[in-house]
Amino acid sequence: MRCVVGLLIIVTLGACSHRSEREAQREREERDRNSAAFKAGEAAHEIARHAESTAAAAERQLEESARKAREGWKQKEKEDREKAREDR
Is-above-0.75 flag for pTM?
no
Q: What is the pLDDT of residue 52?
A: 96
Position 30, amino acid: E
Q: Which of 75, 72, 54, 52 is nearest to 64 (CA)?
A: 72
pLDDT tens, per residue, the chain with 88 residues: 667 666 656 666 565 556 677 888 888 888 888 888 889 999 999 999 999 999 999 999 999 999 999 999 999 999 999 988 888 7
Q: What is the dihedral of CA 60, 61, 67, 71, to 10 degrees?
A: 160
Helices 36-87 + 2-34 axis angle, to 10: 50
